[in-house]
């Protein structure tokens, strides 16, 4: 007589959770019998083997629907093409999550800088950016469609824009928003616009959004930068660039952590 197994046996054998097993049943991947005496589900050797094969293909990225198609139509499936398709999907998956991992690592690297150097002033090279376009102000939301059109869909909007200021000895004279893409090396292409400044006064500041008086922060920072430049006998070129590097929260209100680069001669 064929041995029968109960749910707990299957969980122990396969390592699956009860919810996963129930999900497979609901999708029709396995169809256990029920004990006529107590109505408990009973599984046979074939059910266990079916679960092991499901695990085999699930660990290779197959969806439930793809599994059902294999079960029901394997003879008609072009297996080589299917493997090519799954391989391409997994390569895209790896590329996508590798990008996320890189952004996470950059965020933590910046967080460590923030902990050690908030409000400090130093001389740094500004990362190289290609300028893809511009618009008027941060809150010109009607113009945001061009950000989506020109930037990678995987990059967030805040990291795709830089506020550019022009200033003189009297203060800020104008500002605009730049749509940018960070370039990983220094090979510049003709006909493209770049932010390429090897020597900048650099600082990191936090600005609480919607806080009364927050508009004073740029002016205050430029005064601080001007004083630092004077003390180091440096000459500002009259531009500054503000990058949103991180968002924190204070009393449930967003606080932008900004990195400022002011090129000098």
Write down the pLDDT at residue 34.
Answer: 82
Q: Give whole-number Cα distances, 65 to 29, 81, 85, 119, 223, in Å.
A: 10, 17, 15, 54, 62
Q: What DSSP element (H or E) covers 34?
A: strand 33-34
Question: Topology of 118-263 in CATH?
Answer: Multidrug-efflux Transporter 1 Regulator Bmrr; Chain A (3.20.80)
What count of residues does the chain have? 265
What pTM was computed for the model? Answer: 0.79
CA dihedral over 73, 74, 76, 80, signed as positive or negative: positive
- Where are any strands of DSSP class E within 109-195? 122-124, 129-135, 161-168, 171-182, 193-195
Write down the pLDDT at residue 51.
Answer: 93
| CA dist., res. 108 & res. 100, Å (int) | 12
Write down the pLDDT at residue 213.
Answer: 42
- Compute and round to an integer the Cα radius of gyration of the chain: 29
Q: Which CATH architecture has domain 7-77?
A: Orthogonal Bundle (1.10)
Give the residue ranges of the chain where pLDDT is below 70.
1, 209-218
Task: Please report, for the chain, the start and end positions of each structural domain, with discontinuous segments joined by +.
Answer: 7-77, 118-263
| CA dist., res. 29 & res. 38, Å (int) | 23
- Check if the beta carbon of residue 124 is closer than 8 Å to that of residue 261: yes
């Amino acid at each position: 007589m064929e041995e029968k197994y109960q749910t707990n046996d299957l969980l122990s054998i396969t390592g699956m959770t009860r919810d996963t097993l129930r999900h497979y049943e609901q999708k029709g991947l396995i169809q256990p019998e029920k004990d006529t005496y107590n109505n408990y589900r009973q599984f046979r050797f074939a059910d266990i083997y079916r679960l092991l094969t499901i695990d085999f293909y699930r660990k290779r990225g197959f969806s439930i629907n793809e599994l059902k198609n294999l079960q029901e139509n394997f003879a008609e499936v072009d297996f080589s093409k299917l493997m090519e398709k799954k391989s391409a999907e997994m390569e895209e998956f790896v590329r996508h999550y590798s990008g996320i991992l890189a952004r996470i690592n950059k965020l933590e690297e910046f967080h460590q800088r923030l902990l050690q150097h908030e409000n400090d002033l130093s001389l740094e090279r500004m990362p190289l950016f290609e300028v893809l376009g511009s618009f008027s102000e941060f809150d010109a939301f009607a113009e945001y469609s061009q950000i989506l059109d020109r930037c990678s869909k995987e990059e967030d909007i805040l990291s795709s824009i830089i506020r550019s200021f022009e200033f003189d000895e009297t203060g800020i004279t104008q500002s605009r928003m730049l749509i940018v893409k960070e370039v990983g090396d220094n090979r510049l292409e003709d006909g493209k616009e770049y932010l390429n400044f090897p020597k900048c006064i650099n600082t990191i500041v936090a600005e609480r959004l919607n806080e009364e008086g927050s508009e004073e922060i740029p002016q205050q920072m430029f005064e601080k930068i001007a004083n630092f430049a004077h003390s180091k006998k440096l000459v500002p070129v009259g531009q500054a660039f503000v990058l949103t590097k991180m968002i924190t929260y204070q009393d449930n209100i967003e606080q932008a952590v900004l990195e400022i680069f002011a090129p000098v001669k």
